[in-house]
Chain A
């Protein structure tokens, strides 16, 4: 066992809320933790398997989940009773899954997100710094390089897919006191380059398509998370690459490698470097740094 562990978080009683007449929202915790996320994933999997009549959507989120149902078939109070029953019956410590580990190249401080972030300085907390300079400073790093080394220094787990199709929210796989945290822009930008790597709250987001966004901008990846036409081989089963529970290892690359990967993506020949592992939450909690090293090895 390593010296550093991830402490289990005790979760409060879940909060069940009506979303109008056709949604139920369940908040497992107000704050983010692996415990809250793993529980959201485990319960959602259980709900899917139970195949309740009238269920339309089950969408796990970071520390909560959302259900859409047909109220002509299922009364929300019956649904909530069923969810409470599942909640008390589930043993999250038994929950483990086949996680895909991806090598995920990132060009940090790329020219495209730099141009965008400079355009929107007036919406930022610190107009005189870049997003990376600001994030490094408020997280007590000596330099932007040290901050990037930290962000790319341990893998990130996909804890939610949403906002737009294929956008993963990623939570770095380190103990709480090593987690970085930054605010979102004071006012969201109206533009973000596609494949931008952003950070807000405690989450890294990868923007699948160009559009609005409020996260701090750190870099750009040459690889896709969304392939609507499913032209790349790794998108054969779904137009969306990341699933909750997947692990992304952000690897710093230079412009030359970025351009080379883009060429392969555009030619439709790129294959993601990925391996599937049996993810063991308890082993990860007991020795996150050691566990991460072994995870990263499988894709390097």
Chain B
């Protein structure tokens, strides 16, 4: 069974839960920017969470099913249609051979996910099917999809037909209008003055048009002069925001001029001070914030971050349980 790409949309890539374990050679994890939506899409069609889905950005793709299939669409609402008829999202849907699934522009959120029972079966690279376009690995030929591409779908594990029509309860759906993004301060935030830290956490940050899988650049007050003056340590470079090159966590906020939140295809390290890290659940929320949205950064401690993650894991488990019954 395969999917024929009629139109690749703006940026559509194959993604999974990520290529972990290779940070030490400079390889970022890649993987779905909204991990929750990716996992739920897979759950709806009976796939493992690790199966590959298609991540569509702002404007979705047009795809033709070569054979009968079960699919689900989650994430941003791009008003999908199957043979011209609206398709419910966050729901397992049946397609027949020859059906065309089309997506429009995202009305809310940025990224939509399409899971097909059996998963997108591209060759894994270093343990993952995720696309990393900078060096052209993973996914479909290491790049975004284009018209004419043909994606192979794997063999479905169970009988996905039993899941058709089942959907995720409304109270489990994420709120893509959320713009409060929680941050654990730390890493090199000792470099900020108290005034700088205050300004950083009280500012309205506008998501700039430089916001992609590599990073989200924010526009807002200039706080680059709110760094502690010091005699720079050997090897760091002379600017007050420079540090001896170190590793950057995914979600960390790098202060090269305006803040940049590093996302799943980010550079793995560098010499600019990072002042905190967006917590794992809210990286999903940020990935659904649109260009020119205004977000605020809310400081939390690590226990609150862990609690948010536990709640997310419980919600995923509840969704799983509700679907398999």
Residues of A within 8 A of B (CB): 17-23, 25, 27, 29-33, 44, 56-66, 68, 71-72, 75-76, 160-167, 169, 171, 176, 179, 181-184, 187-188, 200-203, 208-209, 211, 226, 228, 238, 240, 244
Closest chain B CB from A20 CB (angstroms): 4
- CB pair A18–B247 under 8 Å, yes or no, is no
- CB pair B26–A20 under 8 Å, yes or no, is no
Q: From B136, B233, B238, B246, give the contact of A66 (CB < 8 A).
A: B246
Closest chain A CB from B232 CB (angstroms): 9
- CB pair B246–A61 under 8 Å, yes or no, is yes
Q: From A19, A31, A179, give the contact of B277 (CB < 8 A).
A: A19
* Complex interface: chain B residues within 8 A of A75 (CB): 306
A-B contact count (CB 8 A): 190
Q: Mark B248-287, 1 if CB is under 8 A from A, else 0.
A: 1111100011000000000111110000011110000000
Q: From A25, A72, A160, give the contact of B245 (CB < 8 A).
A: A160
Cα distance, A167 to B235, chains bound together (Å): 17
Cα distance, A187 to B243, chains bound together (Å): 16
* Complex interface: chain A residues within 8 A of B237 (CB): 181-184, 200-201
Closest chain B CB from A120 CB (angstroms): 16
Known interface pairs A20-B278, A59-B24; A30-B233 also in contact (CB < 8 Å): yes
- CB pair A57–B280 under 8 Å, yes or no, is no
- CB pair A17–B187 under 8 Å, yes or no, is yes
Chain B interface size range: 35 or more
What 9 new A-B contacts, CB under 8 Å, besides A21-B306, A57-B23?
A20-B249, A20-B277, A23-B249, A33-B234, A57-B21, A62-B235, A164-B135, A184-B239, A209-B135
- CB pair B242–A201 under 8 Å, yes or no, is yes
Cα distance, A295 to B6, chains bound together (Å): 58
* Complex interface: chain B residues within 8 A of A44 (CB): 24
Residue of B nearest to A76 (CB): B302
Q: From A20, A65, A211, A226, give the contact of B305 (CB < 8 A).
A: A20
Q: Mark B15-34, 1 if CB is under 8 A from A, else 0.
A: 00000111111110000000
* Complex interface: chain B residues within 8 A of A226 (CB): 135
Residue of A nearest to B190 (CB): A15
Known interface pairs A25-B246, A64-B246, A184-B242; A167-B309 also in contact (CB < 8 Å): no
